[in-house]
Amino acid sequence: MIRGGKSFVSSPPSFSNDAKKLLVCTGNTVSIFSTDTGLQVTELEGHTALVTSIIVEPAPTPASTILCYCWTSSLDGTIKYWDFSVSELMKTINIQLPIYSMVVPSFLAHKSENSEKLSDIYAYISVEDTKNEQNKQRNELSGKILKCNLSKSHLVPGVILSESKKPEKITISSTGKYIGIHEKRKIRIWEVPTKDLKNISPRKLKLSHTKNLSCIAFHPTDRILVAGDVTGRILIWRGFGDKTFAGSNLENEKLLKDEDEKPGVRGNGDADSCTTWHWHSSEVKVLSFSSEGVYLYSGGKEGVLVLWQLDTGKKVFLPRIGTPLLNFMSSPDPSLASVSCADNRIHILKMPRMEILKSISGIKLPSPVPEMFRGSCKDFVFDHTAGLVAVRTENYCIQFYSLFDDREISEVQVCERNHQPSDDVTMILNLVALSFEGSVMCTVETRMAEEGIGGFVTLKFWERGSQNNDFSLSTVIYEPHRDAGVSAVAFHPTRGMALSASYGGDFKVWVSNHEIQQNDRLIQRTRWACHAVGSYRKKPMTAAAFSNDGSVLAIAAETVITLWDPEKNVLVAVIGSTREPIENLSFIGDSNFLVSTSQGSNSQLSVWSMAKLSVSWSYKLHTEAIACSEKDSHFAVLVVLPESSKADVATSHSGAILLFNAGDPVPVASWFVAKAKGGGIAFIQRNRSLDDDMDENEGQVLLAYVNGEHEYAVFNPHGVEMQERKVRHTDSVSVTGPEVTGQIGYASIYGKLPEFKLEAGAESATLSERPWETIFSGPSHSLPPLTKLCSDFLESLLKKRTGTLI
Amino acid sequence: MAVGDRSEAIVKTFAVKPKLKPTNKKSTSSPESKYWKSFRPKQTQTLVSSITSLAFSPTSPHDFAATHSATVTIFSSKTLEPKSTIASFKDTATSACFRSDGQLLAAGSYSGQIQVFDVKKRSVLRRLPGHSRPVHFVSYPRVDKLHLFSGGDDSIVKYWDVSSETSICNLIGHKDYVRCGDGSPASDDMFITGSYDHTVRVWDVRVSKIASMLSINHGAPVEDVIYLPSGGLIATAGGNIVKIWDVIGGGKLLHSMESHNKTVTSICVGKTGINSVNSTNQYRILSVSLDGYLKVFNYSTLKITSSTRFPSSLMSVAFSPDCNTRVVGSANGVLYAGKRKTNENIESVESEWGKHIGFGAIEEPEKRILRPSYFRYFHRGQNEKPSKGDYLIMRPKRLKLAEHDKLLKKFLHKEALVSALKAKNPENVVAVMEELVSRKKLLKCVSNLGVDELGLLMGFLQKYCTMPRYAGVLIVLVKKVVEHRIDDISGSDELKGYVRNLKRLIVEEIRIQESLQEIQGIISPLLKTAGRR
């Protein structure tokens, strides 16, 4: 099983002591990237839940910068100590509470005092108190900040710095002298005692603001605190804590001054002055001081990194990063820094000039879709042969991500626009489709109108160049179906033919024409031109698929499936109807079955027999995606489990993957998965180079599952029994955590089956609330005699009438 | 983790571009059609009447002769101006033909007499009487300087010995007017003639006793016939059809080209100078017709490669052997002569010029050795031409930004719209409008426009709003503009005028749409029945 697609930006990364490596939290593991090449070097595996913070142990002397030890904390309630040069786990401290943030002040303070090294290392951790469930329900404070002795690996008893509604991120000053958290409109600051002894709880101080705060940062040398708020203001408190933290002998003098000389400080906050900078137009997410404290870095939703000169307020910008910024990390090497962006990308910056040196990019996160396009957008498609997934990104690009290598292959800019995260969405990339061999891509984009002016849909065909990595635009078609949106695009499996179906009630078949231009050298061009147009009773076409040999074209016209001859554009047959518009259609391999899904209140998964032109079997299931194997007659569906059945399954499992054989309504295998909503599955061909440790069946295909947050897993759907035999595999499966969780083998299917049987039965047995509409539906031979039905029918009608009258 | 410089991937400049136009499937700008277009026809002086024939001299500088009314005019191929006129005809002159050395010219006449002239002195050297009816066809063999063959309306083909002014033999076989013919490029003793009896006959004077070697039925009165350069194929023109035959293969029809609408009057062989490597592929058939079209037919790919329309019916065509001049004669006496404009021409002229003024070798200035103290030392090698094997690193092309692009970059939306409107390219204006729509600023721009700028916009709208390409955007915009700026419009007479025009346009457009719908109503049942079949 291959996993990947983890978020790189869930927690701040950390540089190693020599700044050659960058440690990034990627889900349950810590990935270590080289800052020179931007490629992954190694991985630290051991945590069973999301890793929330990484702290690299600083080198006590400059000579020992090669030492590579780090502490990590995770939501699984453990703190682990690693030697990351050899990726070896040294020590585990079990706190048993999910840790959301951890800081270790003693790493930062007093590097010169060697005697200090012998004393214990204390960490402050922000945890969620999940032990007493009752607390939660009573809406009490579950977030706590605790102190932990890392050397002796236990919590310091009795030290609870604060309690809050939910665990907050702890910020620490770069000298390790102060730690702080921000909660809504308040900031709490503690001074860490220099002699960090067991039970002394540090002195604390509170500052408040009128807006919700989003981040804070401490000045490295002076007592200056900056905080960003949700409106884009940066607040600077100078001389905080003069009263609380400074010696008590000064207290009286200060008190006298307090009342009049605290410009800008709200309430009785303990600070000399508070000033505000307002440049950012929306929430400030990043605040960080340069190491000597002269400059301040800030960034936010606009995707602009701003460098402020603290004394003068002068600004320098790194503009147009294109996505909201999440984190800024300066490194031990003054010429390097890193910026984490919300599009799952970490930029390594060359520092004084703020130039992007390298980018480490993970799979792009799902981009939000406006309500009106909810139905007509598809987040990603698979390239079956190359094992790639093409992800639609927010900045109008298609990212090609290798499932096997877990890295970005390329990015294609589809619309000629720069994305600004704070702007309104006026253009959207609706659909992506890839041809079977992956050489042609088709994209659909929609420009939204401004009060009815100038919106249009564009269909674009892209050809992969000979270098086999870059797509180039071959044909642009404006308004392919007048003003109607495109609902589906399908490619012919063998020929240069594509189909676009629209909600406007027609579909078009496009064919490619090769043409060679002899202008000095051979330039081969391909153009796509309309070959045929068809429609079925002006019904909106909602889904389309070519059969595997390309001889039949199935198009769903709302609730019926129409079959066409793609060459001659002749309607061949129309098959039965479903209750809701069909969302997805697919031919199953070489078998003569067609599978369709529809969503809505009567969502349905139906398998149609092409030989009989009738429904073969169907379930009432909310199906998110279908994947059909090319060779044999297997297909897999991703099902979102209904709310009611969630009770008996573990709560983290929102969906299931069911593997069917086309002729048989009993699933062959099933797996529970998390975050199924918005996910997708596909059969992909095995990459030869990866086959070493897997079984030797060359012809077999793997099943890839991408969940709603673009994390994925690739596994062999037929190797279920085999995996049960392999002890190693079952181990890894049981430790999987929330992503793709426990696989249930063939044997345990029978425990699960009755549930589906029930549902299938329920569908046929229960009448809808308007029985007169469905009482006659069904094949005539299975209906009861008309004489019997008639009275029922009349009765049902009468009942309803009286009901409405009264 | 894509490796690479991402900084430019983040900030990109996209110029506002109009929507692409649908391109024609047959690319009109293929190099060949460009070549044929380069013969820009220059209308020289109008001659008296219909130009019955055109002929190029086989020797350089390839002057050409045109026969019209009772004269033969010789034109210089350099200047395309008449050089001299021969007027010693009693009746309409026909079928001028140069001898292979270009010194003599033979021409027929409606009087039936054939005359041979000295081209330079314009004097008549020989008169060949013999035809009783008008002679439409006289020709020298390709190389032979001593003989002529001719065909007349008396349906007799004659082979002449020029020096003795006697006909060697009468070739009888045609049953109607003989109007055309051509000598074989392979043998001087063979030639073909075409007649109004629909046949083309191949003659060999060595076996003159036999009627004709071969007879081909074209299917229509033959207006012109030529040998193609290989000598194995002939092309015949008659009716609106040009046919290609294989004479060696016994007169087999190879292809029939029917792209003219009226009678094809003349054909000739042209040559494209494009790919000198493959010389067999560069010959084309040029045909002219009464419908006023000149078509260029590539008989190796069997495709029309170029088609040019002339304003009047065309009678004759000729193409110079050096591929630099093409002349087309029309029925109303206008001669369209076109010279190809190429860089080579200019260069060759220059080189000749150089020959004339070159007084021995001019000393080239000695190349100075570059030393590090010179400024140019540091620039050395920058103007070096890359050699064949070098890998070229192109400098990234700078995107050229138009005025409105620069303004859009500065978020000066109204100014951008106004500058696009002033530039008067409707495509760009619509593109700028679309860009403004995607910034959700178009209506704000409209309400910010000053009165004279509004006039500019209204002028644009009334000009283009019903044009199908832009109607989708503009018609809605018109409505919004009128809604938003009703006060300003009612205050200005000029704007009121625009609105009045718009109203009229809309009425007109509605009428067009209605009639189109009517037509659709008529056509769609027809299409349905056609589709059913």
pLDDT tens digits, residue range A616-646? 888 888 888 888 888 778 888 888 887 655 4
A505 vs A272, higher pLDDT: A505
Residue A516 has pLDDT above 70, yes or no: no
Residue of A nearest to B18 (CA): A478
Instruction: State whether B308 and B423 are in the same domain.
Output: no
SS3 A289: strand
| Contact (Cβ atoms closer than 8 angstroms) between residue A207 and residue A269 | yes
* pLDDT tens, N- to C-terminus, chain B (533 residues): 343 444 444 567 777 877 777 766 555 567 777 788 788 777 666 777 888 888 998 888 888 898 888 889 888 888 888 888 888 888 888 888 998 888 889 999 888 889 999 888 888 888 888 888 899 899 998 888 888 888 988 888 888 888 888 888 888 888 889 989 988 888 888 889 999 999 998 888 887 666 778 888 988 999 999 998 888 889 999 988 999 998 888 888 888 888 888 899 999 988 876 555 555 677 888 999 998 898 888 888 888 888 888 888 888 999 888 888 888 888 888 888 888 776 554 444 444 444 444 444 445 556 667 777 877 777 777 777 777 888 888 888 887 888 898 998 888 999 999 999 998 888 999 999 988 888 888 888 888 888 888 988 999 998 898 888 888 888 888 888 888 888 888 888 888 898 899 899 889 999 999 999 999 999 989 888 887 66
Instruction: State whether B158 and B70 are in the same domain.
Output: yes
B476 has a chain A CB within 8 A of its CB:
yes
Q: Do A424 and B440 touch (CB under 8 A)?
A: yes
CA A49 – CA A29 distance, rounded (Å): 8
What pLDDT was estimated at residue A520?
Answer: 55
Region of B18 please: left (phi>0), alpha (psi -120 to 50) or beta: beta
Q: Which domain holds residue B452?
A: 405-532
Bridge-based pairing of strands A51-56 and A69-74 is: antiparallel
How many residues does this entry show for chain A? 806
* Residue A36 binned pLDDT confidence (cut-offs 50, 70, 90): confident
B472 has a chain A CB within 8 A of its CB:
yes
Give the count of beta carbons closer than 10 Å to the beta carbon of residue A249. Answer: 7
What pLDDT was estimated at residue A65?
Answer: 72
User: Omega before B229 cis (within 30°)?
Assistant: no
B477 has a chain A CB within 8 A of its CB:
yes
Q: Do B10 and A320 touch (CB under 8 A)?
A: yes
Q: Do B1 and A450 touch (CB under 8 A)?
A: no
Q: Do B3 and A455 touch (CB under 8 A)?
A: no
Contacts of A38 in chain B (CB under 8 A): 1-3
What percentage of chain A reaches a pLDDT higher than 70? 77
| Contact (Cβ atoms closer than 8 angstroms) between residue A316 and residue A307 | yes
Residue of B nearest to A356 (CA): B7
Instruction: State whether B315 and B420 are in the same domain.
Output: no
Selected for mutation to probe chain A from B5, B10, B392, B430 (highest A CB count within 10 Å) is B10
Domain membership flag for residue B399? no
Instruction: State whether B300 and B422 are in the same domain.
Output: no
Q: Do B25 and A361 touch (CB under 8 A)?
A: no
* Residue A26 binned pLDDT confidence (cut-offs 50, 70, 90): confident
Residue whose tokens read 């002939």: B234
Domain boundary among B309, B326, B342: B342
Residue among B1, B23, B30 whose CB faces A40 most closely: B1
* Residue A469 binned pLDDT confidence (cut-offs 50, 70, 90): low
Half-sphere exposure of A51 (CA within 13 A, CB side): 30
Contacts of B447 in chain A (CB under 8 A): none
Q: Do B1 and A361 touch (CB under 8 A)?
A: yes
Domain membership flag for residue B369? no
* Residue A729 binned pLDDT confidence (cut-offs 50, 70, 90): very low
Q: Do B437 and A449 touch (CB under 8 A)?
A: yes
Residue A140 has pLDDT above 80, yes or no: no
What pLDDT was estimated at residue A467?
Answer: 65
Domain boundary among B311, B342, B373: B342
Closest Cα of chain B to A418: distance in Å? Answer: 7
Residue partners of A511: CB distance under 8 A and separation at least 6: A495, A496, A497, A498, A528, A529, A531
SS3 A550: coil
Residue A551 has pLDDT above 50, yes or no: yes
What pLDDT was estimated at residue B355?
Answer: 44
Q: Do A476 and B20 touch (CB under 8 A)?
A: yes
CA B305 – CA B265 distance, rounded (Å): 19
Instruction: State whether B146 and B270 are in the same domain.
Output: yes
Contacts of B10 in chain A (CB under 8 A): 320-322, 356
Mean pLDDT (whole number) for A39-56: 87
The two three-digit tokens of residue A799, written as one number: 């009942």
Q: Do B2 and A361 touch (CB under 8 A)?
A: yes
Q: Do A450 and B443 touch (CB under 8 A)?
A: yes
| Contact (Cβ atoms closer than 8 angstroms) between residue A354 and residue A316 | yes
B3 has a chain A CB within 8 A of its CB:
yes
B530 has a chain A CB within 8 A of its CB:
no
**How many structural domains does chain B have?**
2
Domain membership flag for residue B124? yes
Phi, psi for A66 (deg, rounded to 5): -80, -10
Contacts of A40 in chain B (CB under 8 A): 1
B433 has a chain A CB within 8 A of its CB:
yes
Residue among B2, B31, B442 whose CB faces A453 most closely: B442
| Contact (Cβ atoms closer than 8 angstroms) between residue B438 and residue A417 | yes
CA A168 – CA A181 distance, rounded (Å): 6
The one-letter amino acid at B367: K
Domain membership flag for residue B7? no
Closest Cα of chain A to B435: distance in Å? Answer: 9
Per residue, the 3-state secondary structure of A676-717, as one string, reads: CCCCEEEEEECCHHHCCCCCCCCCCEEEEEECCCCCEEEECC
- Computed on alpha carbons and rounded to an integer, the radius of gyration of chain B in Å comes to 33
Q: Do B7 and A356 touch (CB under 8 A)?
A: yes
Mean pLDDT (whole number) for A19-46: 87
The two three-digit tokens of residue B182, written as one number: 């051509």
B19 has a chain A CB within 8 A of its CB:
yes
Mean pLDDT (whole number) for A712-728: 58
Going edge to edge, which strands form the sheet with A40-45?
Answer: A14-15, A21-26, A29-34, A40-45
Strand partners, B330: B314
Selected for mutation to probe chain A from B1, B34, B457 (highest A CB count within 10 Å) is B1
Contacts of B27 in chain A (CB under 8 A): 515, 517
The angle that helices B468-484 and B426-438 make with each other, rounded to 10 degrees, is 60
Contacts of A408 in chain B (CB under 8 A): 1-2
The one-letter amino acid at A737: G
Phi, psi for B35 (deg, rounded to 5): -60, -45
Residue of A39, A36, A40, A44 whose CA lies nearest to A19: A36
What is the maximal distance between C-alpha atoms in chain A? Answer: 103
Closest Cα of chain B to A563: distance in Å? Answer: 18
Residue partners of B421: CB distance under 8 A and separation at least 6: B429, B453, B456, B457, B460
The two three-digit tokens of residue A381, written as one number: 């498609």
CA A404 – CA B142 distance, rounded (Å): 74
Closest Cα of chain B to A71: distance in Å? Answer: 25
What pLDDT was estimated at residue A352?
Answer: 81
Query: What's the CA angle centered on B373, arms B370 and B379, to 5 degrees?
Result: 55
Q: Do B9 and A411 touch (CB under 8 A)?
A: yes
Residue among B1, B3, B437 whose CB faces A453 most closely: B437
* Residue A777 binned pLDDT confidence (cut-offs 50, 70, 90): low
Closest Cα of chain B to A379: distance in Å? Answer: 21
Closest Cα of chain A to B413: distance in Å? Answer: 15
User: Which DSSP category does B23 fall into?
Assistant: P
Q: What is the CATH number of the domain that holds B106?
A: 2.130.10.10
Instruction: State whether B317 and B420 are in the same domain.
Output: no
A478 vs B383, higher pLDDT: A478
Q: Do B27 and A515 touch (CB under 8 A)?
A: yes
Q: Do B25 and A529 touch (CB under 8 A)?
A: yes
Contacts of A479 in chain B (CB under 8 A): 472
Instruction: State whether B329 and B444 are in the same domain.
Output: no
Q: Which long-range contacts (CB under 8 A, 24 or more apart) does A109-112 make?
A: A109/A175, A109/A176, A109/A177, A109/A192, A109/A194, A110/A194, A111/A58, A111/A60
User: Which DSSP category does A676 fall into?
Assistant: -
User: Which DSSP category does B155 fall into?
Assistant: S
Domain membership flag for residue B17? no
Q: Do A417 and B14 touch (CB under 8 A)?
A: yes
| Contact (Cβ atoms closer than 8 angstroms) between residue B173 and residue B131 | no
Region of A279 please: left (phi>0), alpha (psi -120 to 50) or beta: alpha
| Contact (Cβ atoms closer than 8 angstroms) between residue B170 and residue B157 | yes
CA B92 – CA B113 distance, rounded (Å): 11
Closest Cα of chain B to A446: distance in Å? Answer: 11
User: Which DSSP category does A274 fall into?
Assistant: E
The two three-digit tokens of residue B137, written as one number: 């066809």
Query: What's the CA angle centered on A471, arms A468 and A473, to 5 degrees?
Result: 145
Domain membership flag for residue B152? yes
How many residues does this entry show for chain B? 533
Residue among A447, A518, A529 whose CB faces B438 most closely: A447
Bridge-based pairing of strands A740-744 and A664-673 is: antiparallel
Instruction: State whether B121 and B252 are in the same domain.
Output: yes
In order of B21, B437, B474, B502, B516, the CA distances from B468 in angstroms are 13, 19, 10, 15, 13
What pLDDT was estimated at residue B8?
Answer: 46
CA B43 – CA B333 distance, rounded (Å): 11
Closest Cα of chain A to B527: distance in Å? Answer: 14
Of all helices (H) and strands (E), which one includes residue A257? helix A251-258
Q: Do B25 and A426 touch (CB under 8 A)?
A: no
Q: Do A38 and B19 touch (CB under 8 A)?
A: no
Domain membership flag for residue B294? yes
What pLDDT was estimated at residue B27?
Answer: 53
What pLDDT was estimated at residue A95?
Answer: 82
Instruction: State whether B265 and B192 are in the same domain.
Output: yes
CA B17 – CA B15 distance, rounded (Å): 6
Closest Cα of chain B to A425: distance in Å? Answer: 8
What percentage of chain A reaches a pLDDT higher than 90? 5
What pLDDT was estimated at residue B419?
Answer: 92
Residue A98 has pLDDT above 90, yes or no: no
Residue among A355, A450, A519 whose CB faces B440 most closely: A450
Instruction: State whether B304 and B442 are in the same domain.
Output: no
Closest Cα of chain B to A320: distance in Å? Answer: 6
Instruction: State whether B317 and B181 are in the same domain.
Output: yes
Q: Do B480 and A40 touch (CB under 8 A)?
A: no
Q: Do B437 and A454 touch (CB under 8 A)?
A: yes
B496 has a chain A CB within 8 A of its CB:
no
Domain boundary among B310, B342, B374: B342
Q: Do A33 and B1 touch (CB under 8 A)?
A: yes
Residue A417 has pLDDT above 90, yes or no: no
Bridge-based pairing of strands A233-238 and A224-229 is: antiparallel
| Contact (Cβ atoms closer than 8 angstroms) between residue A283 and residue A214 | yes
CA A472 – CA B206 distance, rounded (Å): 66
Domain membership flag for residue B16? no
Selected for mutation to probe chain A from B437, B439, B527 (highest A CB count within 10 Å) is B437
